[in-house]
Amino acid sequence: MSESLKKFIREIPDFPKLGVIFRDITPALLEPKVFKELCDGLHARYKGKRIDKIAAVESRGFIFGSVLAYKMGIGFVPMRKPGKLPWKTICEKYSLEYGEAAIEMHIDAVSKGERILILDDLLATGGTAAAAARLIERQGGIVEELAFLIELTDLKGRDNLKGRKIYSILQY
């Protein structure tokens, strides 16, 4: 599936900032067979593994994270930009390919000892994923793996995630 998926990823130059090539997964979402294959592929990988919850990063991570949590019959943890969650949160700051940002989750989203899969659409520098993992671990959770639809290998995001299990469907 990996190479055939590339034709469903749109490249948008200079978004959200000059010099960045944005990899847009929305064309893949428009094709029911492709979307189903992506969701089924993720489910096949994690079905039967000891995972208590899926933690997904806004916004495109929510698309696949919620489907996977539903298919696995487990909880879903939304990880969002500051000020977007309605209750008490914990926050973690990080660096992006094109600036600084922060991510939050509810303080009661993860309990000590819970095994968590973190899911996002894209691994670039690894800043977002590392921040998500730190949030999970601050609450006593165990990060089982970090999963991505796309990995931009030239940005060396894996270097910021050393010692962690990483899975990506498609590499650029």
Positions marked active-site: 60, 97
- Residue 70: name the closest of 53, 57, 45, 48 by CA: 53
Given phi > 0 = left and psi -120 to 50 = alpha, else beta, which region is 135? alpha
Question: Which residues, other chains included, contact 32 with Cβ-Cβ below 8 Å and sequence gap of 6+?
Answer: none
DSSP 81-92: -TT-SSS-EEEE
Q: Name the one residue in this structure whose structure tokens are 């428009």.
A: 30
How many other C-beta atoms are found inside a 10 Å radius of the C-beta of residue 134?
Answer: 16
- Residue 9: name the closest of 37, 30, 39, 32 by CA: 30
Cis peptide bond upstream of 16, omega within 30: yes
